[in-house]
Amino acid sequence: MNTATADDLISEWHLRVDGDPIDGHRSLVVPVRADGRPAVLKIAPPEQHNAGEHLVLRQWNGDGAVRLLRADPRRRALVVERLTGGDLTTVPDDQACAVIAGLYSRLHRPALPQLDALSHLAPRWTADLQALPRNAPIPRRLVEQAIAQLPTLVDAPDGEVTLHGNLHYGKVLTAQRSPWLAIGPSPLRGDPHYDVAPMLWSRWDRMGHHAREVIRHRLFVLTDSAGLDEDRSRAWTLVRAVMRALRLLQDGEPADSLALTRFVTVAKAVQD
């Protein structure tokens, strides 16, 4: 990560460093003071798929999500309010799912046209799935189901919404001004049911030998609490899990890796 960019922004924006850098999952995250308020400076790497983060944070305006204070899209830099509380891994599963379901209704605003659309991405995903060798370590029936489902999913029946894209236990923090706020979106626009999947493959270490039951229970709680269609949520989860498994293979993940097994397990678990 280019710390020179951070130094430049700290100087230009009159920020004051207020602690050691934080683990930002490839992003550089630096605690700062902005006009005397606790904040963080976040600089994302070019390959990270969150180019529209500043747009959705502006749209949400602190309602259900961390508040944006300043942005420089060209340098992929944001200053946001600092949230110092714990994340949803600190609460029981059912409570965490209820919190996430409540956030869907706040974050799923009318879609921003500047964001990538699921309907535009789907043909590329279909082509990638069709090119997958039949002997790949992803069950072929799951690949074929994902290919068949995509055309039926890309048109949101109730209209496109702004999607967080990666809303799960670690992406929701407590705050003084609100019990729970979302952070770190990977935004897109499209069907709200797309946002369910990350909660089903997160907190994997807590599932033990009951992964299938836990995944299906989370799916039920999320869809029931949020008033989402369970079948569309299942279908999107299947597609997203198979796509995540495919990307792992493209990145050179070994066929027997735990990461690959996790996404195949999720895809299987949401089948009736």
The token pair that represents 173 in the structure block: 């923090």
CA dist., res. 80 & res. 44, Å (int): 13
Q: What is the pTM of this model?
A: 0.94
Residues 6+ apart with CB under 8 A from 195: 104, 108, 163, 164, 165, 167
pLDDT tens digits for range 28-86: 999 999 999 999 999 988 766 667 999 999 999 999 999 999 999 999 999 999 998 89
Residues 6+ apart with CB under 8 A from 118: 153, 154, 156, 163, 188, 189, 190, 191, 194
Q: Are 42 and 77 in contact (CB under 8 A)?
A: yes
Position 135 scores a pLDDT of: 94
Position 171 scores a pLDDT of: 96
Q: Bridge-partner residues for 33, per DSSP?
A: 16, 38
pLDDT at 272 over 70: no
Q: Of 217 and 84, which is predicted with more confidence? A: 217
Q: Are 166 and 185 in contact (CB under 8 A)?
A: yes
The token pair that represents 203 in the structure block: 């907190």
pLDDT tens digits for range 251-261: 999 988 999 99
pLDDT tens digits for range 130-189: 999 999 999 999 999 999 999 999 988 889 999 999 999 999 999 989 999 999 999 999
Domains of the chain are 3-81 (3.30.200.20), 88-269 (3.90.1200.10)
pLDDT tens digits for range 96-133: 999 999 999 999 999 999 999 999 999 999 999 999 99
CA 14 and chain centroid, separation: 31
Q: Of 272 and 219, which is predicted with more confidence? A: 219
Q: Of 33 and 207, which is predicted with more confidence? A: 33
The backbone region for 18, taken as left when phi is positive above 0, alpha when psi lies in -120 to 50, beta otherwise, is: alpha
Position 206 scores a pLDDT of: 85
Please compute the mean of the pLDDT values over residues 190-207 and round it to a whole number.
95
pLDDT at 265 over 80: yes
Q: Are 113 and 187 in contact (CB under 8 A)?
A: no
